[in-house]
Amino acid sequence: MTSFVLAAPCSVCLSAIFLTDEDRSERKMSAAVGDLNGMTPMKGAQQTAAATQPPQTYGKISLQLTNCLLPEEKLSPTPSEVDGLDKEVEIDLRIIGCELIQTAGMLLKLPQVAMATAQVLFQRFYYSKSFVRHPMEIFAMGCLCLASKIEEAPRRVRDVINVFSHIKQVDSGKWPLN
């Protein structure tokens, strides 16, 4: 039986590894517990050898953690850098956008999967379009609305707009109204 494992720490490099149950049982290791089901943890040279093994192929497809959805040429320079935006400012805008999506998602009581999907959509959008030409808040809203529908936890567009408006009011110090 084949199962699917998704590597999710990097929103740009989303790739997967397919493992059979036999592979999974071979790769199990216990670092602190010791021997688990007759298996012992890997030590120094064994870990290095395991890390340098060539990727497994399935037919004509080679799946590994280094298979990125975006080629290196597209990642640098980004469209924002081409438009003259500083790299650090772009990184800050990406972080702020993801935090905005996370905050709005929590207020909308969306599942974490929907918020993560919105953040991936947001990141991928700004690798093809510029922060200079496309307002971050508007596209964060759109990404969250689309992700809620993709992950089958739909929210009304009106609710999404109201939540983003509320967040903007709180951040600007206009809430609560005195």
Instruction: Dump pLDDT digits (tens) for 95-146.
Output: 999 999 999 999 999 999 999 999 999 999 998 899 999 999 999 999 999 9
The residue ranking higher by pLDDT, 162 or 8, is 162
- Strands 2-7 and 15-20 come out as antiparallel
Most confident of 7-21, 29-43, 110-124: 110-124
Q: Does pLDDT of 4 surpass 90?
A: no
* pLDDT (mean) for 144-159: 95
pLDDT digits (tens, 9 = 90+) for 68-99: 666 777 678 888 888 999 999 999 999 999 99
CB atoms within 10 A of CB 160: 21
Q: Which of 117, 96, 113 is nearest to 168 (CA)?
A: 96
Residues 38, 92 contacting (CB under 8 angstroms)? no
CATH 1.10.472.10 in the chain: give the residue spans.
72-172
pTM over 0.85: no
CATH second-level architecture of 72-172?
A: Orthogonal Bundle (1.10)
pLDDT digits (tens, 9 = 90+) for 163-174: 999 999 998 887
Which residues have C-beta within 8 Å of that of residue 19, sequence separation ≥ 6?
2, 3, 5, 27
